[in-house]
């Protein structure tokens, strides 16, 4: 238990520190889980669905009753480093303290300054529905939680190390992109191998990446900054929110994260280049070259009537969209991202440009979504999805984009 | 041959199954209410209802619509006997060039059938995929609000 502390007056924080904290909060994607769909920023209430129940993002504004207004810097630091709330209760690791434990003092201090200078909002999130009682989390932590700091790799340059520090720590990329064991702990030895998050697939970022055009540092930096880059699908699902936040991060930090993350795919450059040229060689439809399968044939008709008008044109043309052989959603081990995107489309937030795909949920029945997915998957040369019909039945809440 | 049910009538269409519904409505059946705008599902001028939901008919192939209930703006009423949605748009003078209006009405009709008493925020959110380049948005919003009241008073949606 850390005693309640009077909230420091906003004027007591250095403006530069607050600004730095704002940039770091953007790197940390804090707003995504700590803001409900219609609520004010950082006032909590967003549902994070886990296999063990739903955890609601807490109110991070300095409201004394419902937020962190009574939290001292020590209490805030301890939450980040040890996963304990001010009263000393274990926090659910949906709050990614296994990553945040690596964040340095000066960055925690900046985050604290940023949060404590937000307008206090009185808002209590709904009660969690997790089936694991909090005290049991002590056992989980003993098994899986490794507190500690980030250490530079002396064989890498300063920018790579900066990127690694941010990605492994505050940005907590692995929280989505690394597979977890049955108790929800990240499998360190399979770091960034891709994972299921809610109903979405976080793609692999390591050498098992299925990105049709392998990522380069420059492409990834632009994608993280803009949410769209040449020859790649735009950020969708939970990643769309990440990119919206990264727009407020320091550009150098985003570039450094891209440097580190792009290095995770350690296939030889010549191999990655070969893959890229092959993917770009036969657009717009690549290997979709005919099949006796009636589902494939129906899928081709649907593609011709519903998709081709945009996706056969390519982005260079006004109103055109990415040729789908370049879309990672059709290459992933599971079809869920494709199903979400077909059904819900890609909708812009207000004032957002260059993001728009109509929702086909009302137009297409389940069996038509299956047919379309069969056809699109055939563009990849990969084995057919084995559980497609079941996935189409189950992935039915397209608005759900919980991280 | 593809069988389509449009505005309560059955049609047998002899066309490539990938043909977008809009071309069949306008080219084969003379139902010219739905408009061709962008052809890319980006403007909403071609919006019709399938079952209870608005869809872009310019990018919906007829192969996907067998056995579904399709409604176009012609189903909402006639010139002599306009339905409440159409009367509301006339009374609010919500059309300027009018090109987007059939799509706007169908999108709004889908909303009011599901939610007879929507808030203005809901109307705005729901109509967002429909584009109007004349700038009559405020009149369109008023018209949809008026249509909701008229339907409630009459106890029916058309």
pLDDT tens-place string over residues A10-55: 999 999 999 999 999 999 999 999 999 889 999 999 999 998 999 9
Among residues A193, A192, A184, A201, which one has the least CA distance to residue A168? A192
Distance from CA of A302 to the nearest CA of B (A): 6
Contact predicate A187/A178, CB 8 Å: yes
A403 burial via Cβ count (<10 Å: 0-12, 13-18, 19+): buried
On chain B, the residues whose CB falls within 8 A of the CB of A368 are: 64
pLDDT at A397: 58
On chain A, the residues whose CB falls within 8 A of the CB of B56 are: 358, 363
End-to-end CA distance of chain A: 30
pTM of the predicted model as reported, rounded to 2 decimal places:
0.93
Query: What residue of B is the nearest CA neighbor of A300?
Result: B18
Read off the tokens for A319: 């109103």
Nearest to B42 among A300, A319, A362 (CB): A319
pLDDT at A290: 80
At B32, the pLDDT band (50, 70, 90 cuts) reads very high
Q: What is the largest CA-CA distance in chain A?
A: 72
pLDDT at A400: 38
Distance from CA of A241 to the nearest CA of B (A): 19
Q: Report the C-alpha gap between A180 and A163 in whole angstroms.
A: 23
On chain B, the residues whose CB falls within 8 A of the CB of A305 are: 17-20, 59-64
Q: Please list the pLDDT of chain A residue by residue as tens digits (403 residues).
A: 888 888 889 999 999 999 999 999 999 999 999 999 889 999 999 999 998 999 999 999 999 999 999 999 999 999 999 999 999 999 999 999 999 999 999 999 999 999 999 999 999 999 999 988 888 999 999 999 999 999 999 999 999 999 999 999 999 999 999 999 999 999 999 999 999 988 899 999 999 999 999 999 999 999 999 999 999 999 999 999 999 999 999 999 999 999 999 999 999 999 999 999 999 987 887 766 788 999 999 999 999 999 999 999 999 888 899 999 999 999 999 999 999 999 999 988 777 777 899 999 999 999 999 999 999 999 998 999 999 999 999 887 544 333 3
Nearest to A362 among B16, B53, B63 (CB): B53
State whether B59 and A319 contact (CB < 8 Å): no
Q: Report the C-alpha gap between A253 and A23 in whole angstroms.
A: 9
In B, what residues contact A, Cβ < 8 A? 16-20, 38-42, 50-51, 53-56, 58-65, 129
Residue burial A194-230, b: 16+ Cβ < 10 Å; e: rest: bbebbbbbbbbbbeebbbbbbbbbebbbbbbbebbbe
Sole residue written with tokens 């300095």: A62
State whether A310 and B40 contact (CB < 8 Å): yes
Q: Report the C-alpha gap between A230 and A311 in whole angstroms.
A: 14
Among residues A175, A147, A176, A153, which one has the least CA distance to residue A165? A153
On chain A, the residues whose CB falls within 8 A of the CB of B17 are: 301, 305
Query: What residue of A is the nearest CA neighbor of B17?
Result: A301
State whether B64 and A310 contact (CB < 8 Å): no
Nearest to A309 among B19, B55, B59 (CB): B59
B133: left (phi over 0), alpha (psi -120 to 50) or beta: alpha
pLDDT at A284: 80
B12: three-class secondary structure by DSSP: strand
A83: left (phi over 0), alpha (psi -120 to 50) or beta: left
Q: How far is CA A234 from the centre of its chain?
A: 13
pLDDT at A198: 82
Please give the interface size between A and B, counted as residue pairs whose CB atoms are below 8 Å apart: 62
State whether A305 and B17 contact (CB < 8 Å): yes
A260: three-class secondary structure by DSSP: helix
State whether B129 and A358 contact (CB < 8 Å): yes
Read off the tokens for A65: 């009753």
- Could you check whether the bond before residue A9 is cis, i.e. omega within 30 degrees of 0? no
Report chain B's mean pLDDT, rounded to a whole number.
96
Among residues A31, A45, A116, A128, which one has the least CA distance to residue A89? A128
pLDDT at A5: 85
Contact predicate A198/A400, CB 8 Å: yes
Question: Could you say which residues from 281 to 340 on chain A have a Cβ atom under 8 Å away from some Cβ of chain B?
Answer: 298, 300-302, 304-307, 309-310, 319
On chain A, the residues whose CB falls within 8 A of the CB of B59 are: 305-307, 309-310, 358
On chain B, the residues whose CB falls within 8 A of the CB of A301 are: 16-18, 61, 63
**B interface mutation test: which of A304, A363, A373 has the most B CBs within 10 A?**
A363
State whether B64 and A356 contact (CB < 8 Å): no
Nearest to B39 among A300, A309, A361 (CB): A309
Q: Report the C-alpha gap between A28 and A42 in whole angstroms.
A: 13
On chain B, the residues whose CB falls within 8 A of the CB of A310 are: 40-41, 59
pLDDT at A349: 78
A293: three-class secondary structure by DSSP: coil
Q: Would an 8 Å CB–CB cutoff place A362 in contact with chain B? A: yes
Nearest to B18 among A305, A361, A365 (CB): A305
* Whether the predicted interface score ipTM is above 0.85: yes
Query: What residue of A is the nearest CA neighbor of B130?
Result: A358
Nearest to B61 among A304, A319, A362 (CB): A304
pLDDT at A287: 60
A185 burial via Cβ count (<10 Å: 0-12, 13-18, 19+): middle
């Amino acid at each position: 238990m850390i005693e309640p502390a009077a909230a420091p007056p906003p004027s007591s924080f250095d403006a530069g520190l607050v600004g730095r904290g704002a940039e770091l909060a953007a790197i940390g994607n804090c707003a995504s889980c700590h803001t409900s769909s219609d609520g004010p920023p950082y006032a909590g209430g967003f549902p994070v669905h886990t296999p063990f129940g739903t955890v609601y993002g807490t109110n991070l504004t300095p409201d004394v009753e419902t937020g962190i207004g009574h939290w001292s810097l020590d209490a805030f630091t301890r939450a980040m480093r040890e996963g304990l709330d001010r009263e000393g209760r274990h926090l659910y690791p949906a709050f990614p303290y296994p990553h945040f434990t690596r964040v340095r003092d000066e960055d925690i201090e900046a985050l604290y300054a940023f949060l404590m200078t937000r307008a206090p909002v009185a808002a209590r999130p709904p009660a969690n529905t997790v089936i694991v009682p909090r005290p049991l989390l002590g056992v989980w932590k003993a098994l899986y939680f490794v507190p500690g700091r980030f250490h530079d790799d002396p064989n890498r340059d300063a920018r790579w190390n900066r990127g690694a520090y941010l990605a492994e720590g505050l940005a907590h990329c692995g929280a989505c992109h690394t597979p977890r064991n049955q108790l929800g702990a990240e499998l360190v030895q399979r770091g960034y191998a891709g994972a299921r998050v809610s109903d979405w697939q976080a793609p692999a970022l390591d050498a098992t990446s299925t990105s049709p055009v392998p990522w380069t540092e420059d492409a990834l930096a632009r994608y993280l900054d803009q949410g769209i880059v040449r020859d790649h699908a735009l950020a969708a699902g939970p990643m769309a929110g990440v990119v919206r936040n990264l727009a407020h991060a320091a550009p150098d930090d985003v570039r450094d994260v891209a440097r580190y993350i792009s290095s995770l795919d350690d296939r030889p450059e010549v191999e990655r280049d070969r893959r890229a040229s092959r993917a770009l060689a036969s657009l717009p439809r690549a290997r979709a070259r005919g099949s006796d399968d009636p589902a494939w044939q129906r899928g081709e008709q649907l593609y011709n009537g519903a998709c081709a008008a945009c996706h056969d044109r390519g982005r260079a043309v006004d109103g055109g969209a990415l040729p789908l052989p370049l879309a990672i959603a059709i290459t992933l081990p599971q079809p869920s991202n494709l199903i979400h995107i077909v059904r819900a489309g890609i909708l812009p937030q207000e004032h957002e440009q260059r993001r728009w795909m109509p929702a086909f949920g009302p137009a297409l029945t389940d069996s038509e979504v299956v047919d379309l997915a069969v056809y699109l998957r055939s563009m990849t040369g990969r084995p057919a999805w084995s559980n497609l019909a079941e996935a189409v039945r189950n992935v039915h809440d397209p608005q759900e984009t919980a991280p | 041959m593809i069988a389509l049910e449009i505005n309560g009538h059955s049609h047998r269409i002899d066309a490539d199954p990938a043909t977008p519904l809009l071309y069949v409505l306008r080219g084969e059946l003379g139902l010219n209410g739905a408009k061709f705008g962008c052809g890319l599902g980006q403007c909403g001028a071609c919006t019709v209802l399938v079952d209870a939901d608005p869809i872009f008919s310019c990018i919906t192939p007829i192969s996907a619509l067998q056995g579904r209930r399709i409604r176009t703006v012609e189903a909402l009423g006639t010139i002599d006997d306009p339905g409440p949605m159409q009367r509301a748009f006339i009374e609010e003078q919500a059309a300027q060039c009018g090109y987007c209006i059939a799509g706007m009405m169908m999108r709004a009709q889908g909303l009011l059938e599901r939610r007879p008493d929507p808030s203005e925020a809901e109307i705005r959110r729901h109509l967002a995929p429909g584009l109007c380049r004349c700038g009559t948005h405020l009149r369109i919003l008023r018209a949809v609000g008026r249509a909701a009241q008229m339907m409630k008073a009459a106890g029916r949606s058309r």
